[in-house]
Amino acid sequence: MPWFLDAIGWLDQHSGSLLAVITAAYATMTYLLLREAREGRRNQLLPKMQADLYGDSHEIRTLRIRNVGIGPALDARVDIHVDWGEIKNDRIWIEGSLMPGEERFLPLGLEDSWTGIVIGQKHDFDTGSVRLDGTFRDVYERKHNINQKIDVMEIIRSRRQSEVRETWGRDRIGG
């Protein structure tokens, strides 16, 4: 008897078991695909907190914290550490919710020491930094961290370079 007839006989005899194995494999793949799709939908609603120093081109006045993500940031708690030359200041910022696109302006806590950090003057604190450590939740109750350090020297360099570019551009256009 040829081998393929033996194979067909074996398949016929074990068809129920083979069907169960194939069905289990399809069910597992479907579950994994659905889990991945659900995680993708959840990731579409992730909040993303971003902080930067805010002010005009000559003076840094406040810390701006904003939600640049698509979903709301809930129960935010951020420890703000200001280390600017001789000035040391720690603050805590707590916010119930920060919706996408919203921003908060927080004082740096330098009012007693310095009314603002003036860039390019003799009291220029080029070695400062602002560090943020904190947590917030998304709409699915998942906890996220914000760990960011803002280097003041980097900001001052970029502002000075942009002022030089503006002056150079004006001189070229006018000359």
The 10s digit of each residue's pLDDT in 16-33 is 888 999 999 999 999 999
Task: Work out the end-to-end distance of the chain between its first and last CA atoms, rounded to an integer number of angstroms.
Answer: 100
The 10s digit of each residue's pLDDT in 77-95 is 999 888 876 667 788 899 9
Q: Are 63 and 113 found together in one domain?
A: yes
Q: Are 138 and 81 found together in one domain?
A: yes
Evaluate if pTM is beyond 0.85.
Answer: no
- Number of separate domains in the chain: 2
Q: Give me the pLDDT at residue 161, please.
A: 62
Residue 122: strand, helix, or coil: coil
User: Do residues 134 and 77 make contact, with C-beta atoms less than 8 angstroms apart?
Assistant: yes
Q: Are 32 and 97 found together in one domain?
A: no
Q: Which domain holds residue 84?
A: 49-174
Q: Are 27 and 57 found together in one domain?
A: no
Q: Are 56 and 98 found together in one domain?
A: yes
CATH number of residue 167's parent domain: 2.60.40.10
Q: Give me the pLDDT at residue 160, please.
A: 62
Q: Angle at Cα 68 formed by Cα 51 and Cα 136, nearest 5°?
A: 70
Q: Are 90 and 166 found together in one domain?
A: yes
